[in-house]
Amino acid sequence: MADKDMRICIIGGGPAGLSAGMYLEQKGYENYTILERLDRVGGKCWSPTYNGKRYEMGAIMGVPSYYAVHDVEEFCGITHDGPKLNRNYKDKNGKVIEPFEPKKNILKIPRLLKMKKQLKEFGELLETKYYGYDINGHRGVAEGRYEGFACTPDREPVSGENPNLKDLALPFKEFCRINGVDLVQDVWIGPFTAFGYGYFDEIPAGYVLKYLDFQTTMNFVKVNLWTWEQGTQYIWECLDAKLKNHARLNSHIEKVERKDGKVYVTVNGVVEEYDKIIVTAPLYIPNKRYDGQVGMVDYFDTRDDEMELFSKIDYERYDVQAVLTKPEDHPEISYYVFDNMTKERLGHLMVYYRRWKETVDQVITTYALRKHKDTLEIPYEEVRKTVQDDLKTMGNPASEVINEWSVYYFPHVFSADYAAGWYDKVEAMQGKYDTYYAGEIMAFGDMDETAEYSRELVERFF
């Protein structure tokens, strides 16, 4: 019988860590501690305030298939009550375009019709040839298996074999090519590359489709979106407030030692003893970051198998600026710039976001990538300037930058390691050394996938 009194340490007070606390609590485990290095909860759900309104520096929205986020809403007694979002499109020269409207793109009608046909085919392919593709996490995929909880409101447990799932290790561009549906990339690119998750020629299809399964993508297309008036961070602030054990902020973990069936965590100079530890913070960061954030391997008594696997992790360099404009320069809506979502235009403005449509005295947030696996990383300051120059080109120049963030974003492995069973090797280590690995890398870097993975972890091991 499970020991419901065991002492459990959770590293990280973002969606994954707080959700782990909630799901543990719901199963009767109340002796847990959540350690957060920052002075706030929410992780990449960060919603600062300007002129009495909250704006988004990280996660912006959800969709009705965010079932784990809905679990949190129900637990906390809150709902998605934020502003209704919409968007338009510009080319790289700042001209407004309507790429999906046949009447405005007479010459593109054959391509649009072909894309519509491929979209239908793709939906059918995912439900048949790739059945099991949308199960949370990546367990078994490289072996042609699926195992986990269905992407349905009831999330019933499912498992089975499907050798075709091995194709998910391919870069998404190649995955689309072998299935004859290249044009669906025109639809998937907006909520993927623009949101900082890299380029389709480098990122395995498994990541693209775990996050943007067919129903989620169609919700983005139809603008069937959830937002929260107080920002996405509010979801996790409410959860933290509701939990019996609130996250301990400003927790600097100096050392973690695992020996004799116990876990010893040195935090803010004090050694604390636990029975198990769940890591939802980064496992590995391959370069020294300006903010001092480090990976688990830098403060744990890291074992050889952990280092060997985790050192294969890379991440996206994704930059956000929060800017003000003069009233006459404020964009009337959010804009996507598809021209800039290619590796040839690395470092350029991909999307800029207007959250509050009833006022021009608010913040606009901008988003850019500055690394592709085949390129050198573009320096931060260079991209910062490029984005501001792009805003001038768009006709919406910034008058002031009030906030900026270059966050450790979307940890992932590339196709060779994915195909070689990286995830199955890590999953086989769950519980070894009294340690469990969760967070973005184990599923995907959006708030719902990370929370859903925490749910599955708790169901499997606690």
Q: What is the pLDDT along the chain (462 residues), one digit of tens a residue?
A: 579 999 999 999 999 999 999 999 999 999 999 999 999 999 999 999 999 999 999 999 999 999 999 999 999 999 999 999 999 999 999 999 988 887 777 778 888 899 999 999 999 999 999 999 999 999 999 999 999 998 888 899 999 999 999 999 999 999 999 999 999 999 999 999 999 999 999 999 999 999 999 999 999 999 999 999 999 999 999 999 999 999 999 999 999 999 999 999 999 999 999 999 999 999 999 888 888 899 999 999 999 999 999 999 999 999 999 999 999 999 999 999 999 999 999 999 999 999 999 999 999 999 999 999 999 999 999 999 999 999 999 999 999 999 999 999 999 999 999 999 999 999 999 999 999 999 999 999 999 999 999 999 999 999
Q: Where are the domains of the chain?
A: 8-81+229-313+413-461, 99-221, 316-411
Q: Which fold has domain 8-81+229-313+413-461?
A: FAD/NAD(P)-binding domain (3.50.50)
Distance, C-alpha 149 to centroid of its chain: 19
Q: Within 10 Å of residue 71's Cβ, how many Cβ atoms?
A: 20
Say what the pLDDT of residue 102 is.
74
Instruction: Spell out the CATH class of 99-221.
Output: mainly alpha
Say what the pLDDT of residue 101 is.
81
Tell me the sheet residues that pair with 257.
264
d(CA 60, CA 195): 10
Q: Which fold has domain 316-411?
A: Alpha-Beta Plaits (3.30.70)
Residue 355 burial (CB < 10 Å; 0-12/13-18/19+)?
Answer: buried
Say what the pLDDT of residue 106 is.
77
Say what the pLDDT of residue 1 is.
59
d(CA 234, CA 225): 17
> Which single residue is written with the structure tokens 């996405």?
232
Q: How far is CA 286 from CA 292, 298, 311, 372, 404, in A?
A: 12, 11, 7, 15, 22
d(CA 87, CA 353): 8
> Phi then psi for 102, rounded to 5 degrees?
-55, -40
Say what the pLDDT of residue 266 is.
98
Asked if 90 and 337 count as a contact pair (C-beta separation under 8 A), the reply is yes
Q: pTM surpassing 0.85?
A: yes
